Amino acid sequence: MEINPLELLGVVLNLTFVILMINQKILAWPFGILGSLISIYLVWEQSLYSESILYSYYVFMGIYGWIHWTKKNDIEIPILTWKLKDHLILISVSITLALIQGYLFSHFTEAKNPFVDAFTTIFSFSATYMQARKVLSSWVYWLLINAVSVGLYFVRGLPFYAIQMIVFSVLSVVGFLKWKKEVAIQKN
> Per-residue pLDDT for 12 more than 70?
yes
Instruction: Report pLDDT for 72.
Output: 63
Q: What is the DSSP string of 109-175?
A: S--SSHHHHHHHHHHHHHHHHHHHTTBTTHHHHHHHHHHHHHHHHHHTT-HHHHHHHHHHHHHHHHH
Our count of domains for the chain comes to 1
pLDDT in tens, 103-116: 998 999 887 788 98
Residue-number span of the structural domain to which 17 is assigned: 5-187
> Per-residue pLDDT for 40 more than 70?
yes
pLDDT in tens, 137-155: 999 999 999 999 998 888 8
Position with higher pLDDT, 117 vs 173: 173
CB-based contact 61:129 (threshold 8 Å): yes
